[in-house]
Structure 1
Amino acid sequence: MNTITQSTAPSPTAKRRLPSELNILLVLIGISLTFEILGWIFQGQSFLGNTQRLSIMILQVSVIGIIAIGVTQVIISGGIDLSSGSIVGATAMIAMSLAQVGTFERAVYPHLTDLPVVVPIGVGLCVGLICGAINGWFIAYTKIPPFIATLGMMVTARGFAKWYTKGQPISFPTDSFAALGKGLAPVFIFLLVAAIMHVVLRYTRYGKFTYAIGANPQAARVSGINVERHVVKIYAVAGLLSALAGIVVAARGLTAQAGMGTMYELDAIAMSVIGGVSLSGGRGSVLGTMIGMIIFGVIISGFTFLRLDAYYQEMLKGGIIVAAVVADVYRQRKRVKKS
C-alpha cells in the first residue's frame, strides 16, 4: 500500500509561485507608472499627483465595481451574466419613482408626502433579487446556457425600464435617498460589499460550493452539493448587487433614465477577468477583482488624461478585454500542461 501512496508535500526544490493578486498588483503599478511618464512627456503634468482626478476615478468605478463583485462569483461558478446593466436601469427607475418628493401625496395618503427611504431601497433590491433568481432558475433547471438566459433578461429588463415610465426620466428624489450617492458614499458602499463577499466566498460553505461548482459541477453534485439550488442563489446575489448599483447610481445622479447601466455588464466582466477571475470557472477572488477594477479605472482615466478621443478609448477598451481573455486562456493551458 505504501508503495502506491504518493506524497502531496512539495519538494524542497519546488518553485514557489507568487499569489495571482500580487501579479495583478504589479500590473497596476506598471500601468500607473506608464501613464505618469506619458503625462510628463505629452501633458507636462503628473497623472498620479492629481488627487482630484484619482478621487473622481474611484467614484466612477465604484458603482460598476459593486456589479463586478456579483459578476465575479457568477464567473467563478462557471457562468456569465449579461443582464447586470439592464437590471441597473430597471431598478434605478423603480427606486427613483418611489423615492420622489411627494410620492405619498400623489398616491392615496395626502397627509403624508414622502415614503420612508427603506421602501424604494427595499423594493429596488427585491426586483434585482427576483431578476437574478429567474436567471438562475432557467440556467439550473432548464439547462439553458447562461449566455442565452441572461441575454433574455438583459432585453426584458431594459424593455421594462422603458415601459415603466414610457421612456421619461424620473428626478427629484428625497434628501435621504440622495444621500446614498453623495460624496464618498458609493465608495464606502462598494468597500462594504467587497468585504462581505470576500468573507463569504473565502470562509463560508456558500463560497466553497461556488468554487466547487465552477471547478467541476459533476464532482460537486456527487459530493452532495445541490448544484441547481446553489446556482439560483449565485445569480440571485448577482441580481441583488446589480440592483444596489442601480440605486446608488440613481442617487448619485439625482435622476433615473431607462438607458442607465448600458454596457455596465461588459465593464464588470472586464474588471473581473482583468482581476484574474477565470472564465472557465473555479478560480478568482474578490481582491483580484478590486485590483482589476482599479486597473480598469486607471486605464480609462489615463486615456482621458492624455486627451484620447472617445472612440479610440472604446476601441482600446475592447482590445484590453480581449487581451485579458487571451491571458486567461494562456494561464489555463499552462496549468493543464503542468498537471
Structure 2
Amino acid sequence: MTKNSEHEINNQIAEMTSRTKHRLGLNYIARYQSVIILFGLFILFSFLSNRFLTVGNLWTILRQTSVNLCIAVGMTYVILAGGIDLSVGSTLGFAGAVTARLLKYGFTMSTFGVVLQFGVVGASVIGILAGLIVGFLNGFIITFFNVPAFVATLGTMTAVRGFVMLWTKGYPITKLGNTFNMIGSGWFLGIPTPVWIAALITFIGSIFLRASRFGRYVYAVGGNEKAAILSGVNSKATKLVTYMISGTLAALAGLIITSRLDSAQPNAGLQYELDAIAATVIGGASLSGGKGTIEGTLIGALIIGVLNNGLVLTGVSPFWQQVAKGFIIIAAVVAERIGKRGD
C-alpha cells in the first residue's frame, strides 16, 4: 500500500467519523428538543420576573396545564394513529355545559311530568359520556365513511359548538355547588386536585400506550396502515377507539374547567384544540403518525403552560403569546425534520 492510498483511506475514515458525530448531534437535538426548550424557558422567565419561580406560581402553572394535558393525552392517541381531532375544544364546552345544567336544573320529562335530579357523580358521568359519544361519532364518520379526519372533526367542532349554544341558550350556567367546585379548585394532600387528575391520566395513558396490545396497534396503524392491516390489525376499530379516548378526555377537561370557574360558559374551550395539538407536536409526535410518546406530550404541555404564564407575568400582550406559540411549533417541526435527515 502506497503512502498516498493510505492517506486517502485515513481521510475517508475521518470524514465518516465526522458525519457520524454530526448525525448523532442532530439525533440528540431531535430527541431532547422539548426538554431543551422547557429548560430554556424556565431560565428565561426566572430572569425576567422574580415572581416566576415562587411556589404559588408554579402551582398555578401546573393547575393551568392540567386541562390542556388531559386533552393532549387523548390527542396523542389520535395523532399517533395518523389522525387529528379539531373538535376537542367544542367537546370540552359541551361536556361542561351538560354537566352544569343537569347538576343545577336536572332533566325534565314534560310528557310524563317527571323531573330527574342529578348529584355531582351522576351529572359528571353523563357529561363524560357526552364526550365519549362525540368521539365515537368522529371515529365512525372517519373510519366507516372514509372522510378525512380534518374535515370530519371540523364539522363536528362546529356542530357541537352549536349544541352548546342551544343547551345553554347562550348564557353561562353558574353556582354549581361547593362539592362540584372541589374537582377544579380543591386540594388533596397539599396538591391541587386537577394536578392529581392530570397526573393519573398521564400515567394510565402512558402505561396503556406502552404495555398494551392496543398501544402497539396504534403505533402500527399510524406508522404504516397497510402493513398493519396485512398483519391482522383492525385499523378501523383502532382509530375509532382513539377518537373515543380523545372525546372522553376532552370531556374530563371540560369538567375540570367548569368546576374551577364555577360556571359553564357557552364559549368554553375555544381554540383549546390548538394548544393540545401544539403540546403533542412540541413533545415530539409526528403529524404523519406512528411517532410520539405521552411523556413527550407532558413536556409539550408544560412548555405551553410555562410560556403562557411567563408571558403574562412579563406583561406581554396575549397577541404576542400566539405569535410565540406559533414559532415554537414551527421550531419543533423543523427540528423533527432535521432529525430525520440525520437518520
Q: Which residue of 126, 129, 150 maps to 1:126?
A: 129
Aligned 1:60-209 pairs, distance under 5 A: 60-100=64-104, 103=106, 115-183=118-186, 184-209=192-217
TM-score, normalising length: structure 1: 0.86
Secondary structure of 2:266's partner? coil
Structure 1 position 38 matched with structure 2 position 48: yes
Q: Which residue of 315, 322, 340 maps to 1:314?
A: 322
User: Structure 1's 19 and 201: CA in aligned 2 closer, same or farther, altered over 3 A?
Assistant: farther
Are the aligned partners of 1:170 and 1:256 in contact in 2 as well (CA < 8 Å)?
A: yes
Structure 1 position 260 matched with structure 2 position 260: no
Q: Deviations over 1:164-192 (max 9, x none)?
A: 12111111213332221123111111011
Secondary structure of 2:66's partner? helix
Secondary structure of 1:179's partner? helix
Are the aligned partners of 2:33 and 2:335 in contact in 1 as well (CA < 8 Å)?
A: no
Once residues 19 and 210 of structure 1 are traced to their aligned partners in structure 2, the CA distance between those partners, rounded to angstroms, is 26
Q: Deviations over 1:14-36 (max 9, x none)?
A: 88765966442233112211222
User: Structure 1's 235 and 222: CA in aligned 2 closer, same or farther, altered over 3 A?
Assistant: same
Secondary structure of 1:65's partner? helix
Once residues 108 and 83 of structure 2 are traced to their aligned partners in structure 1, the CA distance between those partners, rounded to angstroms, is 44
Are the aligned partners of 2:30 and 2:339 in contact in 1 as well (CA < 8 Å)?
A: no
TM-score, normalising length: structure 2: 0.85
Question: Aligned letter for 1:94?
Answer: V
**Range that drifts further, 25-34 or 214-223:** 25-34
Are the aligned partners of 1:180 and 1:252 in contact in 2 as well (CA < 8 Å)?
A: yes
Question: Aligned letter for 2:42?
Answer: S
Matched with 1:47 is 52
Secondary structure of 2:84's partner? coil
Once residues 337 and 217 of structure 2 are traced to their aligned partners in structure 1, the CA distance between those partners, rounded to angstroms, is 24
Are the aligned partners of 1:21 and 1:287 in contact in 2 as well (CA < 8 Å)?
A: no
Q: Deviations over 1:40-89 (max 9, x none)?
A: xxxxx3532x1212211111111111000000111111111100000011
Are the aligned partners of 2:99 and 2:124 in contact in 1 as well (CA < 8 Å)?
A: yes
Once residues 193 and 109 of structure 2 are traced to their aligned partners in structure 1, the CA distance between those partners, rounded to angstroms, is 30
Secondary structure of 1:144's partner? coil
Structure 2 residue runs without a partner (length 5+): 1-19, 187-191
Matched with 1:215 is 223
Secondary structure of 1:262's partner? coil
Once residues 182 and 271 of structure 1 are traced to their aligned partners in structure 2, the CA distance between those partners, rounded to angstroms, is 23
Q: Residue 274 of structure 1: CA displacement?
A: 0.8
Q: Which residue of 25, 29, 33 maps to 2:35?
A: 25
Q: Deviations over 1:229-279 (max 9, x none)?
A: 111111011000001111111111110011000000000100111111111
Are the aligned partners of 1:21 and 1:288 in contact in 2 as well (CA < 8 Å)?
A: no
Larger Rg: 2
Let me know the Cα RMSD of the aligned residues: 2.2
Are the aligned partners of 1:78 and 1:280 in contact in 2 as well (CA < 8 Å)?
A: yes
Once residues 267 and 202 of structure 2 are traced to their aligned partners in structure 1, the CA distance between those partners, rounded to angstroms, is 26
Once residues 63 and 24 of structure 1 are traced to their aligned partners in structure 2, the CA distance between those partners, rounded to angstroms, is 19
Secondary structure of 2:208's partner? helix
Percent identical among aligned pairs is 39
Once residues 244 and 87 of structure 1 are traced to their aligned partners in structure 2, the CA distance between those partners, rounded to angstroms, is 10
User: Structure 1's 208 and 37: CA in aligned 2 closer, same or farther, altered over 3 A?
Assistant: same
Matched with 2:8 is none
Matched with 1:250 is 258
The number of residue pairs the alignment matches comes to: 313
